Structure 1
């Protein structure tokens, strides 16, 4: 059985590689080349570099090629070969196995998120609820099985599919050499939002300004639009890394920060805490508590390395690509 992960996304290359190491015949394909993760894919179509006409032609040609070559299609971020999802019925009629892997904003509805008592949550305006509903309806018409990274996402997609699985996001820790923070007079605190509104950046900045006004000694860096290697160099120097304060779960940035051996500040919804392993090392903070939680960390420099070591161990133990690949192979056998 030949497996194809597509059409883009953090982790598709890691998943395909981990599956190959388990003996499966798997490849990853990124339709675009716009960030570091796209370039890690086994196949890159670079559609963003072509005219609309040329892009459509390359897309159609690759679909025909993939139809002939692969047996199982693992779609990510709610996207398939074509925006209108017309490929799904053809894949179904051809007897091809199909599964969709939802990752975040493409399914996160504000009305559902707020029903869980999260007053802080925001969603991407580029994904209005009607668009999300239409996309999920189209997908689930021809795909019976879905995957989500955690239980925060489960509520958004479970009503649409016959079966939904929770599979943790893999991280290859060998790509991240830990740099455990040591006590220092002026520690570096880092926040690197992919989307300021979603991540709660305004609350981070406000807390940092207040802490400085109150006499706390530290350097704060807001990292945006930096080349990946430059950003990673700053993460390595950081004593504390702040992720999102509104969504209620952690994702790739927290994982990479923990793999680097850093204390990570991130908001985890209270009702979701029980769904995570008991050794979750994240310092839980929301817009109302970020000031106090960071202040507490600043006053406990001897704890930074301890939390960092627990963080690294957590990712190594619960986000191992080999374990996740085995879980995927079991899921594939049920399709």
Structure 2
């Protein structure tokens, strides 16, 4: 029997649709359907966002009914479910009466109801946490280096921390499988949560541009801030400006307001990339650049690396830099020249092939699904009549 799998409700980072496609190649009947906007244009099977509030809410409930009737596995992403979600009020409730009404009369009674229904109907429930869907400001501020110290006031509040803890607690109760794409998230997730590498890149689909074929001129350094405060962009700009003042020929290319396809064309021209210098780990951007044999600088928090498989940790090709050391690290690597950049780029590409190959990650996830499915069937028969009545 091939399992019927639904990935929802977002395509954040391209990870959900990539995992879905890889599962399909392994024989699962897998689909990725999104309710949230997909601004970077990641390919999904169905995009139900952007239809206007009333039509989107109708589509939401239709999809919930379909999920409970037609799928064996529901794999939630970015710590959210298909049900309505309470709007964030930021403590200024008098400024947002419509949002307050939405929360009280609509979202509050139904929030995460599909998670409970799926568990009760014997579905295999999985969830992948990807970042701020699990991070708690109170915990993040304990780290000496973290974007929680630099983002705008209100990014993390007592309200957001409560909401995050409530949602992670619900998944801890009802989800059979819990994955985290960033090791720091394991500190706030249930003990059975497991680290999982990004699977958004099939290295064979990302062919590097030979360094000799690149246009002559200044060194090209790329940085793609989806949120400048979170990514530490001010430190990146300051580091590049400092090198320019010292006469180093370097050009910083900020990738913003582009589709994924547009950004990918720019990535291929880079000599070096800087991912995030505050979060403590690398993101999906770094995996894409490494697949193109572009060396990547980011901040790697030593404490978090202990959550990785030992072999993966030993093979990490990323260039570690804190905000303070970034100018010197950047200067050293640009000064090293093409040969060392090419060597590190090749190692980076092989690292992606070994640790971020979608097919291999999907193979393990499919095994997890099958084990959970078998356990459920052994302890609880499928209640077909109840499902059909939904």
Normalised to the residue count of structure 1, the TM-score between the two structures is 0.91
1:16-71 per-position Cα deviation (integer Å, ceiling 9, x unaligned): 11111112221111224432344x112222x2x22222211111112112221101
Matching of residue 119 in structure 1 with residue 171 in structure 2: no
Whether 2:28 is the aligned partner of 1:8: answer no
Q: Which runs of 5+ in 1 are unaligned?
A: none
1:272 to 286, 304, 312: 304
**CA apart distance, 1:109:** 1.7
Distance 1:118 1:326, change over 3 A: farther
The CA deviation at 1:185 is 5.2
3-state SS, counterpart of residue 225 of structure 1: coil
- 1:169 equivalenced with 2:211 (yes/no): no
The aligned runs of 1:54-69 (5 Å cut-off) are 54-69=55-70
Q: Helix, strand or coil: the match of 1:26?
A: strand
Calculate the aligned-residue CA RMSD, in Å.
2.0
Q: Which structure 2 residue ranges, 5 or more long, are not aligned?
A: 86-110, 373-390
Matched, 1:214 2:214: no
Where do residues 26-175 of structure 1 align in structure 2 (5 Å cutoff)? 26-38=30-42, 40-45=43-48, 47=49, 49-82=50-83, 83=85, 84-115=111-142, 117-122=143-148, 125-126=154-155, 128-158=160-190, 163-170=192-199, 171-175=201-205
**Does structure 2 retain, via aligned residues, the 8 Å contact 1:180–1:304?**
no
User: How many Å separate the matches in 2 of 1:66 and 1:207?
Assistant: 49
Asked if structure 1 preserves the Cα contact closer than 8 Å seen for 2:298 and 2:320, the reply is yes
| Alpha-carbon distance in structure 1 between the residues aligned to 2:271 and 2:210 | 8
Task: Assess if the C-alpha contact under 8 Å between 1:258 and 1:312 holds in 2.
Answer: yes
- State whether residues 180 and 305 of structure 1, in contact with CA within 8 Å, keep that contact through their aligned partners in structure 2: no
Moved more, 309-318 or 268-277: 268-277
Map residues 279-294 of structure 1 onto 2, 5 A cutoff. Answer: 279-294=315-330
Partner deviation per Cα, 1:53-91 (whole Å, 9 max, x = no partner): 221111111211222110110100011111210112221
Distance (whole Å) between structure 1 residues aligned to residue 119 and residue 260 of structure 2: 39
CA distance in structure 2 between the partners assigned to 1:110 and 1:87 by the alignment = 27
Q: 1:122 to 1:181 in 2, by over 3 A?
A: farther
Runs of 4+ in structure 1 over 4 Å off: 123-127, 182-185
Task: Give a deviation string over 1:285-304, Cα, whole Å, max 9, x none.
Answer: 11011000000011111211
